[in-house]
Structures are given as structure tokens and as C-alpha cells.
Chains A and B, each alone.
Chain A
Amino acid sequence: EAEVHRKEEYDAAVRIQSWYRGIRTRSLVKNLNRCAIRIQRHYRGFMGRRRIRAILIDSVKRMCLDHYNKQAAQIQKMWRGFYVRKYVFDYYSRKKYLESLVAKNEMIRSELAEQEEAMRREARKREEEETRRRLRAWAERHHYLVSTVVQPSVFNSPYRPFTLPEETLLLNTRPKTPPKVASVGHGFDPSWRQYGQNQLMVRLPSKLPPLPAKPQGPFRQPEEVRAQRYREFQPSLRVATDYEAYGHLAYGNAHFREVQPERHVTQDRFRTIVPPVPVFDKLNAEYVEGYVEN
């Protein structure tokens, strides 16, 4: 019976042992698992935290960059707006320009209107001047059409109740006689000898010299003046003397300055002998010698 029980006990013991071994291995494995998991857990945490850190750093960097980019974009935005508004298209300056253009246009328009007015006035004046000139020229030439007491003219017809304006025009303008052919006369030449010859028949000059502005008079009788003016020339002796001739002799070089060497006594020059001056001896000897020799 112990054998039977031995198997049973053996089996039971084996069972208990296997159970216990099982428990032990299970707990070992569990422990090992747990350790491994623990390690893995720690490791995963570590890697994860590392990765998170990297991502964090990255995102912080990106945030910083974004911020800087935004700030830079802000600066660029402001700069571009400023630049375009100032240099490319300045709204206010363009508005001012257009306003000033309108003002300038008004000024130009008024100036041009003034100038046009002035031109028209001038043209009208010229026209009027022209018509007046023509009328005057006509009236000057047609003075014979004026009416007389006996014979009324065409413009003053007795059959018409009023006189035409041409009549007054003719009466008011001075008639111009046709230009006389100017006869060729001698001008008034005071030194002309011919005035002395026939004083009664001499023609008075047509144009006397203009009178000075000062008061004139009393005037002498014209006959007196003429007698004085045309009196004969009565020169004095001095005046009458011919200074270019010495009577029958020709004055001047030919007679008085002439030299006749054949009538000279000697050919030598005359010397002037003067006692020598002692002072001159002290001075230039040449002077004395030259003096003597000459």
C-alpha cells in the first residue's frame, strides 16, 4: 500500500513540485519580464523624452524664426509701403499736383483770354486806323467835290433833306495838292561870288536857316543888310600882301636860304676865335678841341 501511495504521493509530490516549480519559474519569468519591462519602460521614457526634447527645441526654434520672420515682414511691409507711397506713387503729392494743375490751367486760360482780347483790340484798332486813313486819303484827293454857295455838291443835294457825312469829311480835311516837281535850284551858298553881281535879280533862297529860339529884333532894314552883306571886299595891306611871294622875288627857301658856293671867299669854314676859357681845360678836353676845330 505504501507503493500505491508512493505513486500517489510521488505524483502528488511531483504535482506539488511541478506547481511549485511552475510558480517559481513563473515568478522568475514574471520578475524577469517585469525587469525587462521596467528597463524597457525606462528606456522608452528616456528615448521619448529625448525625442520630445528635440521636437521641443525644434518647435521653439521654429517659433523664434516665425517671430523673427513676422517682425521682418512687418518691417519690410512698412518699408515697402513707405517707399511706394513716397517714390512710386504718392497719393497726396499727386492730389496736390492735380490741384496745382487746375490752378495753373485757370491762370493760363485767363492769361490767354487777356492776350486774345488784346490781339482783337489791336486788330480792331488797326482796322479802324486803316479805314480812317483811307477816308482821309480819299477826302484829300477829292476836295473838288465840296459844295460851294452857288453849286451844291453831290453830297449836299437840295433834293435830300440831310447832308451826307462825306460833305463834312471833305470840309474838315485839308486838301493835298499833287506833289510839285521840285525844280533843281541852287542851295543858299553864302560864299557864292555871283551874289555880288546882279543884286536886284538874285533869287532869294527858298529856305532860310531856322531862327534861334531867343527873342529877335529890332531888325535892320533889309537894304542895309544887303548892302553890308554884298559890300566889296576891301582887304588891308597886311591881308593883301601875298605872303608866298616877296614882291617880285619868291620868298622862302629858293632866295633866302640859297647857298652860292662859287661866290665864297674861301672854301674853309669861318672860325670863331675866342680866348680859351680856363674852366674848360679842367673839363672835357674834347670839348675844347672840338670847339677850336669847329
Chain B
Amino acid sequence: MSQRQVLQVFEQYQKARTQFVQTVAELATRPQNIETLQNAGVMSLLRPLLLDIVPTIQQTAALALGRLANYNDDLAEAVVKGDILPQLVYSLAEQNRFYKKAAAFVLRAVAKHSPELAQAVVDCGALDALVICLEEFDPGVKESAAWALGYIARHGPELAQAVVDAGAVPLLVLCVQEPDLSLKRIAASALSDISKHSPELAQTVVDAGAIAHLAQMVLNPDAKLKRQVFSALAQISKHSVDLAEMVVEAEIFPAVLTCLKDPDEYVRKNCATLIREVAKHTPELSQLIVNAGGVAAIVDFVGDSRGNVRLPGVMMLGYVAAHSENLAMAVIVSRGVLTLDAVLQTESEDHIQAAAAWSLGQIGRHSPEHAKAVAQANVLPKLLRAYLRPDVSEDLQIKSKKALKHILQKCVHLEALEPLLQEAPANILKHVVAQFSKVLPHNPKSRRLFVTSGGLKKIQEIRAEPGSALAEYINTINNCYPEEIVKYYSPGYSDSLLERVEHYLPQT
């Protein structure tokens, strides 16, 4: 055959390969095709194409592999088992930037599913290659590499430590400073994934000078970037007091409070998470936030949001109130109790209700003033109901019981306690009656109110074992009243009177 005909064969083959790879890549974008592709054995076909001479075919093959691995973890496992990763890692060091982007995409798609797959990616020596990619000029390559590193570090502390040991953190901090917006986002999210596991990792991130740059981006108009920045700052500050203080020293308050009103709800959620993590460590930090008006902003945030988004806000109020009674009073004064009450009522998810119950308990447990403020918002019956409902989770039950106990032990506001006399089970009733027995001996007006509101009657109806604390309290209360009244209200009194009538012989 002539030379041209020979070359034509090769050209046809190349065209066929290109078309195959491009079509597969396109088909892999649609989820319904992927099953079919998998059954047709696309992995084994794509693998040799990764070593193709033509660069376009290599890149498209890598892109197709990435899309397939992205879809579910079986395919990702198939990628790992097919020994494709070492080849990718090797060529990551050498090829042009499009190939690097595609290869980093494959690594990221594999690593995102589970810790074992991420470990497999790390075992192939991908980390060093990815860190070298982070030093490239092209922002797209840096973005893919940072994304892959973030997904690897997400799964566990050992993997995050491996990422840090590869020297990724200073390069990620440099990436955060780049002008490219998507690169900033990805780098911030990678830093957040690294620092969330342990204080040492967070300290490494802080030592690379991340806080200053993250703090600068707090006022950026892009919503997705703000999500990641707040998430990163929150993960850093959650581990210890020093880290939280360093985050606060970057002067993010009160600019952060503005972001609590951002239109994007995840920005608001991450912002509230950051404030919560800062407030939970020491009273001084909480005081700082309160003085900056943070409690009002959080209360508004909790009032405006719905669902899981407001959970960090609710917890923040609880943490602030837990530190000291001064701060608890500050929360009360900022209308926190009303908002928490609304949360307790309207939310359907158990864990949010549990958080609200816990926060209310922390607010009300400091002194009678606080307990009065909480009780006046008509919270106690709701807490009781939450405790008694049969289908609630154990967490909610425990938290509402503890909250009730704490509040009741300090509550001397008797009008709020009376509804509880009816419905409460024995262990709660003990505390309610104890509070009555503390107040009634000293206050004649309340004694009168107690009788007229039917409280004395209910007390008589309670059956208590003699010698128990409850019986003692009941005795104390009964001793405050003259005997006839106690007898009048005791159950069965009318029966005994009728019996006396029966046995009475008229004196004629």
C-alpha cells in the first residue's frame, strides 16, 4: 500500500479514538447513562487512552474518568482498583495544564466518596504532585489541586495531617490571596476542611497566617466565598481559647454582624456558627460579643430563619447565658427568651427543640429573677410537654428535664408554677412542690392566691410516700393553713361529711 493509505489508517484510528473519548465524556455528564457505560466496561477502555500519544485524547479521557468517578463510589473504587491513579499522579508532574486540571479532577472525584478511597489516593503519592500543582501559575490548575486536597483532608485527622505534612498549607494561604474568585473559594474551603479536625491542625493553619487573609475577605460581596470564609474561621476558633482570641483580634466584629443579614442563608448559618464557636469558650469573649450588640443580631437571626439554619444561633444564646448571670440577664433583656420560646413551639425537628430547651435552662438557672423572666414567657408548660411526649428522642427528653429542673429550683413565681401542678410527673412535681413550700410559709398573700386558684386542692390529691421529700414538702404546705381548710380540700372530705350526716341522730 502507498504511504498515504497507511497514514490514512492511522488518521482514521485517531479520529475514532477522539470521537469515542469525547462522546464518553459528554455522556458521563448525564447520570442515567452512567449505569450503561459502567456495564459496557468503559473503565477498561478508558485506561489505555490515558497513555495515548495525542494530548487531547489524554485530557478528554481523564475528564471522562473524573466524571464517572464523581458519580458514585463503586466507579471510584473501580478507578482505584484499575491502577489508574499511579499513572495519573506520574503524569501530573509532567503534562500541560489542561491535563493537570483533568487529572486533579479525577483525584478529587475519587477522594470525595469515603476515607478509604482518600487513603488510597494518598498512598499513590498524590499529595506531593498536588502540592506541586499548587505552585503553578494557572489559576484553574491551582483550583483543581486545592479542591482535591480539600476533599482528601475532609475525611479524617490522619488524612488532614498527611495533607499538612506535604506542605500544602502555606500554598493554600497564597491561593487565598489570589484575585481569582473561584480559587479563593476553593482554597478557603480546603483550609476549613483541614482545620476542623484538631487543634494542632488549626494551629498550623493559623501559623501560616491564614486568619488575616480570611478576615479581609469577610466583606467580599460574593456569597459562596463568604460561606467558606466563615466556615474556615469557625473551624479554626472552635478548638481552643487562644485560637478564638486570635480570630477575634483580627477585628472581625462588628463587621461579622452585618453578614448575619446576608440574603444567602448558608452565609448566615456559617456566620452564626462562627459567633457561637467564639462565644462558647470564656465569659470574656461572650462579653465582647454582647457589648458589640451580637446578642441582638443573633436573636433577630434566630427569629428570621427557619429550620436547621438557626440551630447555631440557638446554641450561641445558650452558651452565652451559661457563663454568668450577667450575660444571662443580657440575653433576657435582648428578647432572647421570647425567640427561644417561638423556636421551641414552631420547630418540628427534635435536635433544634433540644437545643432551645437547653438554652432556656441555661438562661433560667442563675437566679429567681432569671427564672421569673423565663417562666413569665410561658415556657414551662411547653418544656413539660416536650418532656412527656411519647415519641420524642432521648436527647430532647433529657435536655428538657434538666432545663425544667434548673429553672424550677430557682423559680419563685408561683403563678407560673401552678399549671405544672396538674400535669407534672412525680420527679418534676417534687421540685414544684418544693418551691411552693419555700414561698408559702412567708407570704400570706400568696397563700390566699394558692387556695383560691385551687392549688391546695391539687396538693391534697397528690399521693406521696411518707418519709419522702415530697411528703415533707406537702406537710410544710399543709402546716401553713388551718386544719379545717386542709381537711376541707382533702379528697373524700365530702364523703366523710355525708357519712357523719348518716350516723347523726337528730336530737329530738
Contacts and interface: CB of A to CB of B under 8 A. Distances in A.
| Category for how many chain B residues contact A | 20 to 34
Interface string A97-122: 01001101111110011011001100
Given A115-B261, A119-B263, A108 B333 contact: no
Given A94-B326, A101-B330, A102-B333, A109 B261 contact: no
Nearest to A122: B221
A109 B300 contact: yes
Nearest to B223: A123
Contact of A115 (B258, B296, B329, B333): B258
B295 interface: yes
Given A94-B326, A112-B300, A101 B290 contact: yes
B472 interface: no
B334 interface: yes
Chain B at the A interface: SS class:
helix
Contacts of B290: 101
A107 B293 contact: yes
Contacts of A113: 261
A98 B333 contact: yes
Interface in A67-126: 94, 98, 101-102, 104-109, 112-113, 115-116, 119-120, 123
B295 A112 contact: no
A112 B333 contact: no
Nearest to A99: B333
A108 B293 contact: yes
Most buried by B among A106, A112, A115, A119: A112
B297 A119 contact: no
Nearest to A106: B296
Contacts of A108: 254, 257, 292-293, 296-297
A151 to B, nearest CB: 40
Contact of B329 (A98, A107, A119, A123): A98
B77 interface: no
B258 A101 contact: no
A119 B333 contact: no
Contacts of A112: 257-258, 260-261, 297, 300
Contacts of B128: none
A101 B297 contact: no
B262 interface: yes
Contact of A123 (B257, B263, B291): B263
A113 B304 CA distance: 12
A244 B263 CA distance: 80
Interface string B285-299: 000001111011100
What secondary structure prevails in chain A residues at the interface with B?
helix
B263 A105 contact: no
Contact of A120 (B258, B263, B330): B263
B348 to A, nearest CB: 27
A109 B254 CA distance: 12
Nearest to A100: B291
A125 B258 CA distance: 19
Interface string A48-77: 000000000000000000000000000000
Interface string A200-235: 000000000000000000000000000000000000
Contacts of A102: 333-334
Interface in B255-310: 257-258, 260-263, 290-293, 295-297, 300
Contacts of B258: 112, 115
Most chain B beta-carbon contacts within 10 A, residue among A94, A101, A120, A123: A101
Nearest to A108: B293
A108 B261 CA distance: 12
A123 B295 CA distance: 27
A54 B271 CA distance: 81
B297 A109 contact: yes
A86 to B, nearest CB: 16
A94 B297 CA distance: 21
Given A98-B329, A98-B333, A109-B300, A104 B293 contact: yes
Interface string B223-262: 0000000000000000000000000000000100110111
A253 to B, nearest CB: 56
Residue from B257, B263, B293 with most neighbouring chain A CB atoms (10 Å): B293
B333 A101 contact: yes
Interface string B322-360: 000010011001100000000000000000000000000
A107 to B, nearest CB: 7
A101 to B, nearest CB: 6
A221 B343 CA distance: 88
B263 A109 contact: no
Contact of B262 (A106, A109, A119): A119
Contacts of B329: 94, 98
Contacts of B257: 108, 112
A98 B263 contact: no
Nearest to A89: B326
B261 A105 contact: no
A105 B296 contact: yes
Nearest to B329: A98
B258 to A, nearest CB: 5
Contacts of B254: 108
A98 B297 contact: no
A105 B262 contact: no
A170 to B, nearest CB: 33
A113 B292 CA distance: 16
A119 B300 contact: no
A107 B254 CA distance: 13
A40 B334 CA distance: 87
Interface in B80-132: none
A120 B263 CA distance: 7
Interface in B311-330: 326, 329-330
Nearest to A104: B293
A123 B296 CA distance: 25
A101 B292 CA distance: 9
B326 A105 contact: no
14 contacts: A94-B329, A98-B329, A98-B330, A101-B290, A101-B291, A101-B330, A102-B333, A104-B291, A105-B295, A105-B334, A108-B254, A112-B257, A112-B258, A116-B261
Q: Which 3 pairs show the lowest CB-CB distances between chains A and B?
A: A108-B293, A105-B296, A116-B261
Given A101-B291, A101-B333, A102-B333, 14 more contacts: A98-B330, A98-B333, A101-B330, A102-B334, A104-B291, A105-B295, A106-B296, A108-B292, A109-B297, A112-B260, A112-B261, A115-B258, A115-B261, A119-B262
